[in-house]
A = this chain, B = another copy of it.
Amino acid sequence: MRGVVMHAPGDVRVEDREDPRIIEPTDAIIRVEAACVCGSDLWPYRGADKVHDRPMGHEYVGVVEETGDQVRNVGIGDFVVGSFFASDNTCEICRAGYQSRCVHAEPVGAIGTQAQYARIPLADGTLVATPAMPDADLVPGLLAASDVLGTGWFGAVAAEAGPGRTVAVVGDGAVGLLAVLAARRLGAERITIFSRHADRQKLAREFGATDVITARGDEGVAEIKELTGGLGAHSVIEAVGTQESMMQAIRSTRPGGHVGYLGVSHDVRLPGDELFFSAVHLHGGPAPVRRFLPDLIDLVWTRQIDPGKVFDLTLPLEEAAEAYKAMDERRAIKPLLHP
């Protein structure tokens, strides 16, 4: 089959890869209908993470082609959505809603779903079937549920966004934008996004943002405080993963407020004294997308939300290198790849 391999930072190629096959009786093989490039794929692309001949991709929707002997919940021909950690969905950690830290968790990123086919471990726990084959226009939204929507949703939940609470979002990538959508669906009326890009500001407003702050760092913090009676927002969602973005998120939050952080942390060292006196709640990490997946699929399926709007570039899989480049250069918010 054809699949994306990152040989080194900046060096993305589509190549012949070995066809996946069932290894464990809990596996399923899917034919990938759509995959995409994640903000986290840019860390190795930009050299911030080590990378050497790595198959890429961990977001996916597709059709089940084959199942292991023990797979019961999905069958051949089902259209399925999964998330970036395979999980059994039965262990104590999964039942508490933290499937991304399942005791048997396996990173789908190690398998690489920017490809024609993919082996999905723990298929019963990981995959959720749609009610039927989706109309083509629903596919991007379902694909968004696989990661960026589920991640943004987790951030909004972790930040306890809801009615009567002011929300701020640090980061205007797909996750940040969909965190806006999530906060709105969860009942927040006042949602501010930090963004300097007109196209992203526009989409943020479509998703429910009421205010935009273009300033960053301490200047941005001063502006969100001004918008919130000097106190800071109740709920702040961090969707970048740098020292600057984390500190901006913490400083934008009022004492007793909640920070939901989603960006994969890179070279972040949180100063204990400042965190202590901030008196904020801090929660985040790899989003347990599986917790939200049934509800998110339903919201997309019934066309109550359209998170697929974050895909502003659609390319055939063979042009994956251009997809990475466009995202890296911020010419695209998020590229969708059709195998």
Interface residue ranges, A against B (CB under 8 Å): 92-93, 96-98, 100-101, 103, 229-231, 241, 243, 246, 254-256, 261, 264-273, 275-286, 288
A276 to chain B, nearest CB (A): 4
Complex contacts, A273 vs chain B, CB 8 Å: 264-266, 268
Which of chain B's residues has its CB closest to A101's CB? Answer: B255
Complex contacts, A286 vs chain B, CB 8 Å: 276-277, 279
Contact sample, A vs B, 8 pairs, CB 8 Å cutoff:
A103-B231, A270-B270, A275-B282, A277-B286, A278-B285, A279-B288, A281-B281, A281-B282
Complex contacts, A281 vs chain B, CB 8 Å: 281-283
Which of chain B's residues has its CB closest to A97's CB? Answer: B256
Q: Is the CB of B267 within 8 A of A272?
A: yes
Using known A-B contacts A268-B271, A282-B283, determine if residue A92 contacts B276 with beta carbons closer than 8 Å. no
Complex Cα gap A283–B158 (Å): 12
Complex contacts, A246 vs chain B, CB 8 Å: 272
A50 to chain B, nearest CB (A): 13
Count of identical protomers in the assembly: 2
Query: Which secondary structure dominates where chain A touches chain B?
Result: mixed
Which of chain B's residues has its CB closest to A91's CB? Answer: B231
Which of chain B's residues has its CB closest to A255's CB? Answer: B101
A220 to chain B, nearest CB (A): 20
Q: Is the CB of B255 within 8 A of A266?
A: no
Q: Is the CB of A261 within 8 A of B282?
A: no
Q: Is the CB of A276 within 8 A of B269?
A: no
Complex contacts, A100 vs chain B, CB 8 Å: 255, 279
Using known A-B contacts A269-B270, A270-B269, determine if residue A92 contacts B277 with beta carbons closer than 8 Å. no
The 3 closest A-B pairs by CB, nearest first: A268-B272, A265-B272, A101-B255
Which one of B93, B255, B272 lies within 8 Å of A254 (CB-CB)?
B93
Complex Cα gap A96–B84 (Å): 37
Complex Cα gap A269–B274 (Å): 10
A241 to chain B, nearest CB (A): 8
A135 to chain B, nearest CB (A): 35
Q: Is the CB of A256 within 8 A of B101?
A: yes
Complex Cα gap A92–B231 (Å): 9
